[in-house]
Amino acid sequence: MILVIAEKPSVASTIATVLGANSKENNCFANEKYIVSWCVGHLVGLAMPDAYDERYAEKPWKFENLPILPYDWKFEINKSTKQQFNVLKSLMSRKDVTQIICATDAGREGECIFRYVYNEVGCNKPVKRLWTSSLEESAIKKAFANLKDDSEYDALYSAGLSRVKADWLIGMNATRLFSIRYGTPLNIGRVQTPTLAMIVERNNKVKNFIKEPFYKVDIDLGEFTATSADEFKSEYEANKLASLVNKTDFTVTNMFEKRKSIAPPKLYDLTSLQRDANSIYGYTAQKTLDYLQSLYEKKLATYPRTDSQYITDDMENTANQLIEHIYSVYTKIPRMPSNVNQCINNSMVSDHHALLPTEQITKYDLSSLPETEFNILFLLAVRLCAAVGEDYKYSTLTVELKSDNSDKLFAAYQTYPDNFGWKYIDACVRIKSKKELESHFNPNKYLPSLCLNKKFSTVTATVSEHFTSPPKQFTDATLLSAMETAGNTDYVEGSDVEKKGLGTPATRAGIIENLVSREYIVRDGKKILPTDRGIKLIECVPDDVKSAKMTAVWETALQGIEKGIVSAEEFMLQIEDTVRYLVQTYSSVDSSKHFERWSVVGVCPVCGKKVYAYPKSYSCEDKNCGFTVWKNICGKNLTVTQAEKLLTKGKTDTLKGLKSKSGKTFDAALKLNSENKTELVFANSKYKKGK
């Protein structure tokens, strides 16, 4: 018998169907040749510190018990999924099982998930590796026809295990070290903390931004307007020019046209899909991953956790057929010329190719999908058609004019499309109606027919005031982009290393959600903002811990381990040296920073004491006072920003998408009444609902 171990039950079910293992037994499928079972994520992981020494379990933590540097690493079985571990242990131990196929997700993490279980069981039976990016029947059959010895992935496993150990060493030691130093529980992580640092830094830039005015001179030429080429910091200087050229004659001194083109976008990897899903639909990174995972398990999309935006040359025919399937299923997508070759790059595909829908879309009732999953699948379909499309080509006409009274240049611009190309396809997910689509690509006002030396008499000139724009707070989309490129300038120039940024496509969403759950950041609509606690944490920890530079150093080493050119042992010795340095440098109490257990959101309107953001409510610190605003308001969480407005102004902004008990959605603001109780105020209605 051959035992096949997948990463999830749904994947195991799909593989079992392909293999004809239709007999359902105790948490597995079987036939006369195969047994197919599964992990449930990480069944086994690195043990906690107290597994090495009882003193690490002591509370409160102590400086003298640091650093924690395991010599002989221990693993432990996840208690919540121990039953499934025992199922796999029993199956691996069966005498009639002579071979095992590792069918967990193809990558560092998937390899570790399987090997942790295999090693914990103490199994020594031969293992083959199944490597596939799709759960379609044809892809699974092809992967089974090309099985390799799992030993060929030893370097991949070594890199994955090294990364996990290094994260454990930094996380366990730094978390305890700085929690003791500042007298409050703090969570420190090699990826989490630099991500928080970026959010805090962006927030500081927004808060400290001082807008500065600048001025331009505009001239009205009847059928169109033009603007001075110069910007003026001084209104006085702008007024001088306006006075000089006002009511004078202007002449067209130059006209020129530039033709430009924009190449199609690349196919989606997970991060770029998460960015678009956040920008277009407002989905968080984690929600997008969840919806995509569900589509993958329904065999409608390829492997979710990919960091590639290309396909391989052997997929050319498959991609062309898939494009035809998309056009037959999604009539909303305009059919345009396509060239699959521009999406092919074998060198840019390592573990998995780019995200794609599958041919299953022709057989599945897509109308039965939840709207969220339908939208994600539609994004994948549109992106494939756009990525193989023609360049977007456009021309920009520039008209330059001068006054008879001045040498200062004025200019008017007109941009118009020559070939919509891929943008016409891409627009169908961003623009709702055909009318809006036409107006998007066809400007309402074109420059009139002009020629050199054309004169305009007694032209009116006025001064317009403008302001510099502040940076914008992060959203899921922009934070993902920042995480993707963080630390990239710290890689050695010219080195043969793929720049990875903070985290991986598979982990970035979870990192953001961890920061939310630990109350280091909050969401205000699409905005991601740091809490007071998050800001103070970043103020306290050294650059060694909060800089993204560590990621570049690590990733260079880990990719070297994967390629067999860097020693995992040497890498781990360097991590241990880093931990020793941190403990040696920061093993002292620092009373200069005071951390509140909970974030303060304002002043209690009843007694004047602090109102804290507790897990389920915004409540007065004085329990006898009783002032409370529940976070969950008709199915939506009241953000910190809105709670602050409620406490300072007595009313929030209009909260959209609230749900009544009957399930109907509505919009309303929350206000404090004369008794400091909350009530809903409905738009265009005097009706108020007490809460």
How far, in Å, CA of 224 to CA of 448, rounded? 8
Q: Of 348, 272, 336, 268, which is closest to residue 301 (Cα–Cα)?
A: 268
How far, in Å, CA of 453 to CA of 254, rounded? 8
| Least confidently predicted of 370-374, 380-384, 608-612, 660-664 | 660-664
**For the residues 611-615, what does the mean pLDDT come to?**
86
pLDDT of residue 690: 40
How far, in Å, CA of 610 to CA of 628, rounded? 12
Predicted confidence (pLDDT) at residue 32 exceeds the cutoff of 50: yes
Predicted confidence (pLDDT) at residue 553 exceeds the cutoff of 70: yes
Strands 610-613 and 617-620: antiparallel
**Quick one: CA torsion of 473, 474, 475, 477, rounded to 10 degrees?**
140
Q: How far is CA 87 from CA 32, 34, 36, 74, 102, in A?
A: 19, 15, 11, 21, 16
Q: Of 626, 315, 655, 276, which is closest to residue 475 (Cα–Cα)?
A: 276
3-state secondary structure of 587: coil
pLDDT tens across 190-216, in order?
A: 899 999 999 999 999 999 999 999 999
How far, in Å, CA of 279 to CA of 271, rounded? 12
Identify the burial level of 22 via C-beta atoms within 10 angstroms of its C-beta, where 0-12 means exposed, 13-18 middle and 19 or more buried.
exposed
3-state secondary structure of 13: helix
Strands 99-103 and 2-6: parallel
Active site residue 268: no
**For the residues 325-345, what does the mean pLDDT come to?**
93
pLDDT band at residue 348 under the 50/70/90 scheme: confident
User: Residue 63 corresponds to which amino acid?
Assistant: F
- Exposure string of 459-489, with b = 16+ CB inside 10 Å and e = fewer, is bebebeeeeeeeeebbbbbbbbbbbbebbee
> Phi/psi of residue 31, each to 5°?
-140, -165
pLDDT of residue 687: 38
pLDDT of residue 691: 40
pLDDT tens across 560-582, in order?
A: 898 889 999 999 999 999 999 99
**For the residues 181-190, what does the mean pLDDT come to?**
90
Q: Of 329, 444, 336, which is closest to residue 380 (Cα–Cα)?
A: 329
pLDDT tens across 134-148, in order?
A: 777 888 999 999 999
pLDDT of residue 519: 84
pLDDT of residue 525: 83
The number of CA neighbours under 13 Å toward the Cβ of 404 is: 11
Strands 75-77 and 44-46: antiparallel
pLDDT of residue 443: 58
Q: Which domains does the chain have, with CATH numbers?
A: 2-161 (3.40.50.140), 162-207+473-586 (1.10.460.10), 213-263+392-467 (2.70.20.10), 270-387 (1.10.290.10), 599-690 (no CATH)
**For the residues 431-455, what does the mean pLDDT come to?**
73
3-state secondary structure of 298: coil
Report the residue count for the chain.
691
How far, in Å, CA of 53 to CA of 62, rounded? 14
pLDDT tens across 515-542, in order?
A: 998 889 988 888 999 988 899 999 999 9
| Least confidently predicted of 153-167, 254-268, 563-577, 650-664 | 650-664
Catalytic residue among 303, 392, 586, 612: 303
**For the residues 72-101, what does the mean pLDDT come to?**
95
Beta bridge partners, 393, equal: 261, 419
pLDDT band at residue 494 under the 50/70/90 scheme: low
| Average pLDDT value for the chain | 90
User: Which range is most confident: 290-294, 344-348, 352-356?
Assistant: 290-294
pLDDT of residue 79: 92
Q: Which residue do the tokens 């206000």 mark?
A: 671
> Phi/psi of residue 308, each to 5°?
-105, 150
How far, in Å, CA of 127 to CA of 331, rounded? 46
Q: What is the largest CA-CA distance in the chain?
A: 99
Predicted confidence (pLDDT) at residue 386 exceeds the cutoff of 80: yes
pLDDT band at residue 19 under the 50/70/90 scheme: very high
pLDDT of residue 685: 45
3-state secondary structure of 84: helix
DSSP label of 518: T
- Contact yes or no for 323/359 (Cβ under 8 A): no
3-state secondary structure of 52: coil
pLDDT band at residue 638 under the 50/70/90 scheme: confident
**For the residues 161-189, what does the mean pLDDT come to?**
93
Cis peptide bond N-terminal to 334, omega within 30: no
- Contact yes or no for 38/117 (Cβ under 8 A): no
Number of Cβ within 10 Å of residue 657's Cβ equals 10
**For the residues 575-601, what does the mean pLDDT come to?**
88
- Which has more pLDDT, 270 or 132? 270
**For the residues 112-140, what does the mean pLDDT come to?**
91
pLDDT of residue 499: 57
pLDDT of residue 688: 40
How far, in Å, CA of 81 to CA of 66, rounded? 31
**For the residues 295-321, what does the mean pLDDT come to?**
90
pLDDT of residue 17: 93
- Contact yes or no for 285/293 (Cβ under 8 A): no
User: Which range is most confident: 333-337, 488-492, 661-665?
Assistant: 333-337
Q: Which residue do the tokens 């060929």 mark?
A: 152
| Least confidently predicted of 14-18, 72-76, 525-529, 637-641 | 637-641
Beta bridge partners, 7, equal: none
Strands 44-46 and 34-38: unpaired
- Which has more pLDDT, 429 or 91? 91
Q: At what angle do helices 371-387 and 316-329 cross, to 10 degrees?
A: 130
> Mind giving me the DSSP string for 462-500?
EEEEEEPPPPPPB-HHHHHHHHHHTTGGGSPTT-S----
Number of Cβ within 10 Å of residue 597's Cβ equals 11
3-state secondary structure of 140: helix
pLDDT tens across 246-276, in order?
A: 999 999 999 999 999 999 999 999 999 999 9
Predicted confidence (pLDDT) at residue 439 exceeds the cutoff of 70: no
Strand order in the sheet with 628-630: 599-603, 610-613, 617-620, 628-630
**For the residues 41-45, what does the mean pLDDT come to?**
91
95 Ramachandran zone, left/alpha/beta (phi>0; psi -120 to 50): alpha
Percent of the chain's residues with pLDDT above 70? 94
Residues 6+ apart with CB under 8 A from 145: none
How far, in Å, CA of 438 to CA of 460, rounded? 33
